[in-house]
Chain A
Amino acid sequence: MNVTSCMKRNVVSVNAMTTIREAAAILVKKHVGVLPVVDDDEKFIGVVGLRDMLTLELPDFVSFVADVDFVHDFGAVEETRPSAKTLNKTVKTLMKPAITVDEDCGLLRAYALMLQHNLHDMPVISKEGKLVGITSRVDIGVAILSTWPKADK
């Protein structure tokens, strides 16, 4: 079995020149955590996810103070929103090169990659560099468990 057996096809993708505002609206509408980014030839070039979007709003101190458990109320930052200028930037400015797998990648390898790179979703790419689908930890995990031997009768 390989990753193509447990991935979502027909994935919504965006162009690199899409604004952050538009990409955020798509994430909200589709209720998904990650958007693949493609170039004008439909070639996959990266992903932009919820996590990247939220760094725009996350206060600076979260990256400096190791343990923020003692902060019970985030006060002023709770109402801070990214500026219009930030939202009008393209997703290209936020996009990161993504960890991807080929269509023939095995399930355990795919799962191990996601674990090591701390990913929840991972794009599956064809030999030609086109996006064929997205798989998630739950998709792969459940697919692996389903192959386990059933109880002896």
Chain B
Amino acid sequence: MMAVPAIISSIIFFGSLILIFSEKLNRSIVAIAGAALMVTLGKILGFYSEEAALQAIDFNTLGLLLGMMILVAMLEPTGFFQYLAVLAARSSKGKPARLFILLGIITTILSMFLDNVTTVVLIAPVTILICEIMGISALPFLVSEALLSNTGGMATLVGDPPNVLIGSAAGFSFNDFLIYSMPIVLLSWAGALFLLQYLFKKELSKRPRSVKAIMRLNPAETLNEPLITRRILIVLGGAVLFFFLHHALHISPSLVALSAAAIALVWVQPDIQEVLKHIEWSVLIFFGALFVMVGGLEHAGVMEAIVGLLEQASNVPPVLFGVGLIWIVAALSAVVDNVPITIAMIPVIKGLGESGMDITPLWWALAFGAGFGGSGTIIGSTANIIVTTLSEKTRTPITSKLWNKRGLPVMLVTCAIASILYAIIYNWF
């Protein structure tokens, strides 16, 4: 028999998830309303308080995201992303298949260190430009950029929000991700790239109508302010270096990111209002509000109940338990945003740890499920939503039907590859 607080808090949380899924209301608005409701009802029923809600917020995650967002907001107007894309276009010599791989690699590497959404927001417009002047369809490129940025982001601690959350909750360092996540992600990534190339082989084998125009693009002209670009890249490089060392130096990734942002701001002295305008406040608010909501669930005893249920399944072999978790989280992440799923799963996994289970492999299962699952549908990840919204403003929009034929197979194949590798190296986790 579930207690009243557990029922009320579950209704608030799952009701919010359904509202987010229905896309009737903006997700940040839903999250704020849900968080306010959770704290208010929590106070009335006596299971939650303002202090407990504040404690539920993981400021390490928010700080890391904010720091990286400031750096990217400064890098954005310099034209650096256009520079890279134009470089790729010229190196491709107008061969679509080669351009496909080059843009895929650039997107992947950028998304390893920057937010996936930012990467896609900056690389997609110039991709449309290159495809249009070549006279080929931009669709295969846009779909692949979203999918590959999802995959690439999983390789590092800072690459995508679920990893930031998991790293912070599990205490994984930047290097832990390089050792345990990156090899699996890279192999799955290669699988995704080959699969995409195969799925889009008809479009990619078309001869472009104009190659000359591509060769007349001059990368140097795309950089608005070479000096500022160089400074921000130096700071970003320094930040990555400190990410490698943060565990050994006992400093948190959020301190690294925020310090890097501070250094860049002092060195470049941009128009701060302009920079702040480009910060994705809605994302930060969404995260904060979700933390508060999930904190309410925890205090109401819902997480304990779920942990209790899962413990009954603990007589299955641990490897199967982990692989099962990958697929369950992946399925959930495909239909809802992977951030709320990750935030909700964190206390569950912690609870399993307190009951004596070895949870290190489960953290990785959560990371793989949340990351690869996002490829399955348009709403599975924010990067997917961004390229789709962008394409809807062009003459050839991305449709759900197209995504089912291109994105869903990528999710299934990458999840399968990751599951096999996960099972093989399970004992090393």
The answer to whether A84 has its CB under 8 Å from any CB of chain B is: no
Q: Is B133 touching A77 in the complex (CB atoms < 8 A)?
A: yes
The answer to whether A152 has its CB under 8 Å from any CB of chain B is: no
Please, which residues of chain B bring their CB within 8 A of the CB of A59?
A: 129, 132-133
The answer to whether B84 has its CB under 8 Å from any CB of chain A is: no
Q: Is B132 touching A60 in the complex (CB atoms < 8 A)?
A: yes
The answer to whether B394 has its CB under 8 Å from any CB of chain A is: yes
The answer to whether B216 has its CB under 8 Å from any CB of chain A is: yes
Given A61-B128, A67-B224, A70-B222, the answer on whether A76 and B133 have CB atoms closer than 8 Å is yes
Shortest Cβ distance from B166 into chain A, in angstroms? 34
Q: Mark B214-257, 1 if CB is under 8 A from A, else 0.
A: 10111001101000000000000000000000000000000000
Q: How far is the CA of A70 from the CA of B210 in the complex (A)?
A: 17
The answer to whether A71 has its CB under 8 Å from any CB of chain B is: yes
Q: Is A76 touching B135 in the complex (CB atoms < 8 A)?
A: yes
Looking at A65, A71, A77, which has the most chain B CB atoms within 10 Å of its CB?
Answer: A71
Please, which residues of chain B bring their CB within 8 A of the CB of A68?
A: 129
Q: How far is the CA of A57 from the CA of B390 in the complex (A)?
A: 18
The answer to whether A97 has its CB under 8 Å from any CB of chain B is: no
Q: Mark A67-100, 1 if CB is under 8 A from B, else 0.
A: 1111111111101000000000000000000000
The answer to whether B393 has its CB under 8 Å from any CB of chain A is: yes
Interface residues of A: mostly helix, strand, loop or mixed?
loop
Looking at A59, A73, A74, A76, which has the most chain B CB atoms within 10 Å of its CB?
Answer: A76
> How many A-B pairs fall under 8 Å by CB?
71
Interface residues of B: mostly helix, strand, loop or mixed?
helix
Shortest Cβ distance from A32 into chain B, in angstroms? 28
The answer to whether A64 has its CB under 8 Å from any CB of chain B is: yes
Q: Is B395 touching A76 in the complex (CB atoms < 8 A)?
A: no
Q: Mark B84-125, 1 if CB is under 8 A from A, else 0.
A: 001000000000000000000000000000000000000011
Looking at A67, A69, A75, A76, which has the most chain B CB atoms within 10 Å of its CB?
Answer: A75
Pick the contact of A64 from B128, B208, B218, B395 — CB < 8 Å? B128
Given A59-B132, A65-B125, the answer on whether A72 and B217 have CB atoms closer than 8 Å is yes
Which residues, 68 to 94 on B, are CB-close (under 8 Å) to A? 79, 82, 86
Q: Is B210 touching A76 in the complex (CB atoms < 8 A)?
A: yes
Pick the contact of A65 from B129, B136, B393 — CB < 8 Å? B129
Please, which residues of chain A bring their CB within 8 A of the CB of B209?
A: 75-76, 79
Q: How far is the CA of A126 from the CA of B224 in the complex (A)?
A: 50
Nearest chain-A residue to B133 (Cβ)? A75
Looking at B125, B132, B136, which has the most chain A CB atoms within 10 Å of its CB?
Answer: B132
Q: How far is the CA of A61 from the CA of B141 in the complex (A)?
A: 14
Please, which residues of chain B bring their CB within 8 A of the CB of A116?
A: none
Q: How far is the CA of A79 from the CA of B210 in the complex (A)?
A: 10
Given A75-B214, A77-B133, the answer on whether A69 and B208 have CB atoms closer than 8 Å is no
Nearest chain-A residue to B136 (Cβ)? A76
Please, which residues of chain B bring their CB within 8 A of the CB of A75?
A: 132-135, 209-210, 212-214
Which residues, 191 to 223 on B, are CB-close (under 8 Å) to A? 208-210, 212-214, 216-218, 221-222
**Other CB < 8 Å A-B pairs besides A75-B210, A76-B210, A77-B135, 4 of them?**
A65-B128, A74-B133, A75-B134, A77-B132
**A and B contact pairs by CB, cutoff 8 A, 24 listed:** A59-B129, A60-B132, A60-B394, A61-B125, A65-B82, A65-B128, A65-B129, A68-B129, A70-B222, A72-B216, A72-B218, A74-B133, A74-B213, A75-B134, A75-B135, A75-B210, A75-B213, A75-B214, A76-B133, A76-B209, A76-B210, A76-B213, A77-B133, A79-B209
3 closest Cβ contacts across the A-B interface?
Answer: A75-B213, A76-B135, A75-B210
